[in-house]
Amino acid sequence: MPSSAGLPEVAALCATAFSVGAIHTVLGPDHYVPFAALARAGGWSTGRTMLVTAACGLAHVGSSFVIGLAGLALGVAVLTLEGLEAVRGDVAGWLLVGFGLAYLVWGLVRAARSSAPRAPHSHAHAHAHAHAHGTARSTRTGTPMTSPTSITGRPQPCRLRGRCS
């Protein structure tokens, strides 16, 4: 029957691993800044951000665990595994840079396409108004009101319903 004498050591090991992991995350902004940026750019809810971040954190810890198990199974020295661990971190960093650059190019192409000159057009509204979009005047102050535009520069739907002159 196994002795419970090793239980305090296991608890101390788990507490140490958790503490080192938490400090590692807090002191490494590359572990949380990408998620904050993605969440903000994508308009993610707090719940979705936490879910994606937790899934990626588990994948990060899991891959380290698998590499450790593989090293134990193969009888490889820990020093040899450090090189593999460093390469894994470098690959992850370069993938983040690559995805960021791809997203930048995609956004620039999309913005360039949306800002190209367009032929005059019209569209129907459920209300009648005599102003051109972007030149309406506030009924309260008489100051010009502009149509809000999205990040791509495209005008958003008219939000002057019932207040157009």
Count how many domains the chain has. Answer: 1
> In whole numbers, what is the pLDDT of the chain averaged over residues?
74
Q: What is the pLDDT of residues 57-78, one digit of tens each?
A: 889 888 888 888 887 777 766 6
Q: What are phi and psi of 130, to 5 degrees?
A: -100, 10
Q: What are phi and psi of 158, to 5 degrees?
A: -60, 125
Tell me the DSSP string of 4-69.
GGGHHHHHHHHHHHHHHHHHHHHH-GGGTHHHHHHHHHHT--HHHHHHHHHHHHHHHHHHHHHHHH
Provide the residue range defining the domain that includes 103: 9-114
Question: Which pLDDT band holds residue 24 (cuts at 50, 70, 90)?
Answer: confident
Does residue 129 form part of some domain? no
Does residue 53 form part of some domain? yes
Does residue 123 form part of some domain? no
Does residue 142 form part of some domain? no
CA–CA separation, 125 vs 127, rounded Å?
A: 5
Rounded to a whole number of angstroms, the CA Rg of the chain reads 27
Does residue 122 form part of some domain? no
Does residue 110 form part of some domain? yes
